[in-house]
Each structure stands twice: as structure tokens, then as C-alpha cells.
Amino acid sequence: MKVTVIGAGAWGGALAQVLCDNGHDVVVWTHDVEHARQINEQRQIVALTKKEIEHTLSERIVATSDLAIAVEHGCYLLFVVPSFALRSVAIEVAKHMTKPKICISATKGIEKNTHLLMTEVIEDVLTENLCIAAVALSGPSHAEEVIQRKITAIVAAHEKNEYAVLVQGLFNNDTYFRVYANTDRKGVELGGALKNIIAIISGMLSAYDLGDNAKAALITRGLFEMTKIGVASGAREQTFSGLAGLGDLIATTTSVHSRNFQAGILLAKGLSAEEVEISTQATVEGFYAVKAAIEIVNEKQVYAPLIVLLYELLENKITPAIMLERLFQREMKDEFTLM
């Protein structure tokens, strides 16, 4: 199959390699002319070379900075751009589409104000005339490990199982990359977005050297908040105990590969969110997800103290020390109390 990867960051590059390993004809689009040249000549992804991750992309992967060429190439369009940029990129993609295609989102996030998930943003921009279906691809999957062909299992999700299965077949292989199908697209996408918020807090706990007990408590209570937000939004509770929920949460809250985890370490050291992104030269999706999540929490009246306190920290209403204090100053509750 012909697949176009929209976005040439670490995750876009890793997924392009998976697709190429599976025998597909892959074109990668980047807005950066120099990056396209580096991919074609040096077979390298800039975001991975900065982290000193050894990798060599297949010679069969072709990069271009010409969006028209990229869009025309693919029967499938795989969007792998930061959540805040997805709508604007999709608008540009639409200008070059001459026939409808199956779209896939490997971006994890919630659009602020609209509360749309990433596949919903794609559908909102491209509409039924250009987007046959928008399938979510999510789960515990550090690009640094996938590019090195380490064993990974994720989820392809769409309300119509036939589309989830199509994307499952596109990415699944019998050596290192396993894909499960799921019809709870909303739950899969919410899990992928919300776990980034918990991962930031996990990084803060690590910076304060609070230990494994604290980390276990955070993961458990973080999953509780993710699940309650998901169910209140119409997702299935079961999804959050799967790969796109608990699986992704564990990977992101416990790994140094996670940029959200690293962002939490820097926040604990006193940097602002803006300073963190400047320091890391990377998009921290959790910073954007928490702004949308707090709107959902308030609208649905969901009990989510972790998310509320991180939001207050990022809004400079409290310090990291006060944030931790308030977590323990809350009234005692039954473990599974909703409010």
C-alpha cells in the first residue's frame, strides 16, 4: 500500500520505518527542506539524532517538503504532528486532496475549547468528502524503542471495526510490532492524551526522589481520574485498563524516554512550561492536554485532583511544593468515591 506520513518527528520517523518493514511504499512529509534532505541523504530523523539514538532509515523511505506531492502519493494519510498544529496542517492537506482517503492519527491530544480528539479534528477539517475514516493509533510506544525494532504493542481504533482492522493490518508484523483492534475510539484517544498529564506529575515525583510507593500511588490514582473523565465523556471503562490506557500510562510515567516525564523533572526544578519547551526543544503534549482536560473536568464535574492541581501549577497559581502539600491535605475519602 502507498502511505504518506505527515510529520517527520521521532514518532513519524519510527512509524514510517514500521510501514516500510511491512512492505509498504512510504513517503514522509516535513515542512523543513533541510530535514527532508537529511532523511533522503543521511537516512536520519533529526529528533532522534539529537537524543543520540542510533538508527538508519530504510533507503525505500522517501522524504519531501512538497505537501502536494506527499498528499497525492498516499492511499492512507498518517498524521503525526503536534496536537496544537494538527488543525492547521489538516487544512493545508485538504487543499491538495483530489479524492477521499483513509486517515490515521498517531497524535495524542485534545483540542482546547472544542474538546475534539485528534481524529475528530481531522474529520472536522476534511469532512466525509475527503476522509473515508479517521482511525486512531495509540498505545505504549516510545519512538526511541520502535526505531530500534524493540517489541511494541499498540491499538488501532475506530467505531466501525472494519476500519480499525484495516489499519491493524497495515502496521502489524510478526517480529516486533503488534497491533490490536478496538471500537472505542474515544476511549483510546482520551487515554493517550490524559496519560501525558499524569506523566508530568510523575517526573516531578522523581525529581523530588519520593520513591516507588509514591509512583505506584500516582499511576493508580491517575488511572482513576483518566477513567472517570473517559466514562463521563462517553468512552468505555474497559478501554482504560488496556494498552491505550494503563499500558500507555505505565510506559509514559516510568520512562526517561518520555518528554512529559522529563518536563515534570524540569517543572520541579522551578522552570515554567514555556522554559521547559525551550530547554528541551520539544513539544510537551501534556501542557496542552491539561488545558483541555480541566475544561472537561469542570463541565462534567469529575473528581480529578491531580489534573486540577497540575493545571493550577502551570497557571502559576501554586508552586510545585504547594501542589504536593495540597494532594495530602485533601479530606479522607473512600477509594472509589466519584466526587
- Catalogue the active-site residues: 195
Q: Quote the Cα angle for 153-154-157, to 5°.
A: 150
Q: Which residues pair with 94 in a beta bridge?
A: none
The C-alpha cell of 335 is what?
A: 477509594
Rounded-to-integer distance, Cα 156 and Cα 145, Å: 19
Q: Which residues pair with 278 in a beta bridge?
A: none
| Residue 283 identity | T
Q: 228-267 burial by CB neighbour count: b if 16+ within 10 A, else e?
A: bbbbbbebbeebbebbbbbbbbebbbbbebbbbbbbbbbb
Cβ pair 192, 186 in contact under 8 A: no
Cβ pair 144, 45 in contact under 8 A: no
Q: What is the dihedral of CA 149, 155, 161, 166, to 10 degrees?
A: -20
Nearest Cα to Cα of residue 197 among 307, 299, 108: 307
Rounded-to-integer distance, Cα 291 and Cα 298, Å: 11
Question: Half-sphere exposure (CA, 13 Å, Cβ side) for 330?
Answer: 15
The C-alpha cell of 75 is what?
A: 492511499
**Can you tell me whether residue 4 is helix, strand or coil?**
strand
Cα distances from 144 to residues 45, 178, 209, 266, 283, in angstroms, run 11, 17, 25, 21, 16
Cβ pair 314, 290 in contact under 8 A: yes
